[in-house]
Amino acid sequence: MPLTTHHPIPDFRLTPRVDKVGVEERAQRFQTRSIKNEAKLQGLKMTLSMIDLTTLEGQDTPGKVRQLCYKAQHLHDALPGLPTVAAVCVYPSMVDVAKKSLGKSGIKVASVATAFPSGQSSQEIKLADTKMAVDAGADEIDMVISRGKMLAGDYNFVFDEIAAIKEACGKARLKVILETGELSTYDTVRRASDIAMYAGADFIKTSTGKIQPAATLPITLVMLQAIRDYHKKTGQMVGMKPAGGISTSKLALHYLIMVKETLGDDWLTNEWFRFGASSLANDVLMQLMKQETGFYQSSDYFSID
């Protein structure tokens, strides 16, 4: 049975239309803001604390996952006093390895599930995939929606599937990946965001990182506005995770400005905002070293994912 919510479920066919020109112009303006040194330093540390270090390849091995977990725990070796990243994100088969490697570090283990990245499987298999990750110790589940059903207008199917996965998560937090690069319009992204939140998502997430375009500022702004409106209606906070294509500190800081101005300071923690990234951490470390020493370190100075 799908999980019931405490709020009336809206008619998703009546989701608010998105002003395409307005969203794109507003997103563009976030990239023109100058950030002073002290605020930049604070923003870089905040960014680091919000990263989900990720390895999601067919060639992943226990050794590669252990190396990523080691990196997650030792970023401060380059510069003492830095926060850790938020999580390490892996396939369900690697959750046990990551859980043991991270130990009591406080870094979460996130796992993709539900036939990631395509989502093309039965609900029975998707639930088994989720249960496998949760049973292995995953703190967070990153599921993919059925984009084919979404594009075909079968919104009840998408809602019910998310609700069923949410129930299977137990205490694990659920991030719902919309795969915005396949949803074609801002209106569809907005509708999918609303469906995910009313179905029980703890986070909504742009992309798997396997489809281009992945995260963009305008797409993320549409999703942030959906979160804002949902919070106004229900009083419930939902997190946001742009993922894929965010590899520079400069771009990450633009995202943080957008979050602050759209949702407010309450969302500026890794409890409510994440970056799905594999290379962003290295760039953030380079920029932090520059802020601290006045010089850039070679990228070779940092471990490669």
Distance from C-alpha of 157 to C-alpha of 163, rounded to nearest angstrom: 10
The pair of structure tokens assigned to 192 is 């999918």
Q: Which pair of tokens denotes residue 172?
A: 């694990």
In the block, tokens 């496998």 appear at 132
Q: Amino acid identity of 223?
A: M
Residue from 175, 194, 241, 283 carrying the catalytic annotation:
241
Closest CA to 262 of 29, 16, 10, 11: 29
Of the candidates 52, 142, 194, 202, the residue annotated as catalytic is 142
Task: State the Cα–Cα distance between residues 204 and 194, nearest whole angstrom.
Answer: 9
Distances (CA, A) of 168 to 3, 91, 173, 180: 10, 17, 11, 24
Does the annotation mark 135 as catalytic? no
Cβ atoms of residues 130 and 113 within 8 Å: yes
241 is catalytic: yes
Q: Which residue in 71, 175, 205, 283 is the catalytic one?
A: 205
Q: Is 99 a catalytic residue?
A: no
CB-count exposure of residue 149 (10 Å: 0-12, 13-18, 19+): middle
Residues belonging to the active site: 142, 205, 241
